[in-house]
Amino acid sequence: MQKLEQRFNIQYAFPVYFVRNIFNGEEQLLASLLLQAGEKRHKILCIVDSGVMDMDPALAGRIEDYAAANREVMQLCAPILTISGGEICKSQPAVIESIVRHIHTHHLCRQSFVLAIGGGAVQDGVGYAAAIAHRGVRLIRMPTTVLAQNDAGVGVKNGINAMGRKNFLGTFAPPFAVINDFSFLDTLPPRQQRAGIAEAVKVALIKDNSFFSYLEDQRHKLAAFERRPMEKMIHQCAALHMHHIGTQGDPFEFGSSRPLDFGHWSAHKLEEMTGSMLNHGEAVSVGMALDSLYSHHIGMIGEDDAQRIFTLLTDLGLPLYHPALALMDASTALHEFQEHLGGELTITLLTGIGSKKEVNRIDTDLMKRCIKELAHRFSGRNEVADHRPDRFAPHFSVLN
């Protein structure tokens, strides 16, 4: 027998910037960022979430004016491409095909740039298209929602829905850079802003006691979306996510553990059952409440810690229960979560505020009792929609 073995290491690095009014004419961050890729005129395909454009119709003009003022380093190779935001852009093959076709038609190469301006779904879909064209066109992410700025937009994953499964097709492809422009948040509906705060609670619960205390102290200001607490929350949440990705040894998720997904196994199923009527942040909030209660009942956290979690979520205006939870088959949801990553079941639970433990077995009978307890304690409190549970039907399977 003969054998050849190839080994090599690749160093990845990308910056995440926090600014305001990136296209105001005076802010030179984007232009200077392009110069770091070489002193030449760089081709850029700009793709914008239709929801962002609807909320800010003057955005296209500002982008075009910025490009004209910095024509020595950037060239919009085509009119700004607007795509539908939300799950539509990830579920319709024509959207991804359109992006790839634009890259082909306008002769972008691997040294060119795709600029993605939009929420997490747009970042996922555009990132996927950029990653598969030429095996990778440079991507600059410009997330426009709280959830995308503090979580999805600062990671290395891209994905689209296929075969009836959410994110069934995808890549791990680090962006060239991420620019979090806080001014995009000013026009967000309250529900979208609130949903993004749920991910901050999640990362604080499993990683940082002091950050959780900050969220507690500022919860009423955060619930009112006051600018400075929101911006500090986003910055700290993004920093914790980036630190985890860069230091935990498995950025491309080769293993069966995903410790940043506290509360997500049931959240994924709830999104599926409600056809995304319950958005990701809201579903994560319910999932965190459920897994916190379960952590308490198996003796990993005390009643005081559990109550702190419930109070914070409630005061932030996030749901702790949804009627679809009563119809969820815990065994099936856990199996689907395990199937996505492979290996043995690995679920993150709490051992305290800011600390966690990964377990490989869940007592599904106890979990069902926890669901009933949540219904008894929190049904009707901060619920997102008052729909009869029997109206919920499977939509698609959710993989993150």
Domain final residue pick, 187, 211, 236: 187
Assess if residue 247 is contained within a domain.
no
Same domain, 171 and 265: no
Domain contains 235: no
Same domain, residue pair 31 and 157: yes
Domain boundary among 187, 205, 231: 187
Say which CATH number the domain at 101 has: 3.40.50.1970
Asked if 168 and 261 sit in the same domain, the reply is no
Q: In this structure, is residue 243 part of a structural domain?
A: no
Establish if 272 belongs to a structural domain. yes
pLDDT for 399 equals 42
pLDDT tens sequence across 158-216: 999 888 777 889 999 999 999 999 999 998 999 999 999 999 999 999 999 999 999 99
Is residue 230 included in any domain, yes or no? no
Are residues 175 and 39 part of one domain?
yes
CATH number for the domain spanning 319: value is 1.20.1090.10
> Can you spell out the DSSP letters for 49-64?
EHHHHHH-TTHHHHHH
Between vectors from CA 32 to CA 69 and to CA 68, what angle results, nearest 5°? 15
The series of mean pLDDT values per 10 residues for the chain, 400 residues long, is: 89 92 91 93 97 95 96 96 90 94 97 96 96 97 96 89 82 95 94 94 95 98 97 95 75 60 91 86 96 98 97 97 95 87 87 95 96 91 54 42
Q: Kindly state whether residues 153 and 299 are assigned to the same domain.
A: no
Q: What is the predicted pLDDT for the residue at 219?
A: 98
Residue 277: left (phi > 0), alpha (psi -120 to 50), or beta?
alpha
In-domain check, residue 195:
no
Q: Residues 155, 266: one domain?
A: no
* d(C-alpha 173, C-alpha 184), whole Å: 24
Range of the domain at 69: 16-187
Domain membership of residue 242 (yes or no) is: no
Report pLDDT for 249: 58
Are residue 165 and residue 263 in the same domain, yes or no?
no
CB 89 within 8 A of CB 95: yes
Contact 140, 177 (CB under 8 A): yes
Q: Write down which residue in 159, 187, 215 finishes a domain.
A: 187
198's CB contacts (< 8 A; 6+ apart) are 147, 281, 282, 284, 285, 288, 313, 316, 318
The pTM of the full predicted model, rounded to 2 decimals, is 0.88
How confident is the model at residue 268, as a pLDDT? 85
Say if 347 falls within a structural domain: yes
For 241, half-sphere exposure in the C-beta direction (CA atoms, 13 angstrom radius) is: 24
Enter the tokens of residue 142.
Answer: 């410009």
Instruction: State pLDDT tens for residues 136-172.
Output: 999 999 999 999 999 888 988 899 988 877 788 999 9
Residue 152 shares a structural domain with residue 287: no
In 3D space, the residue among 187, 194, 244, 246 whose CA is nearest the CA of residue 56 turns out to be 187
Q: Which amino acid is at 347?
A: I
The answer on 389 and 293 residing in a single domain is: yes
- Domain count for the chain: 2
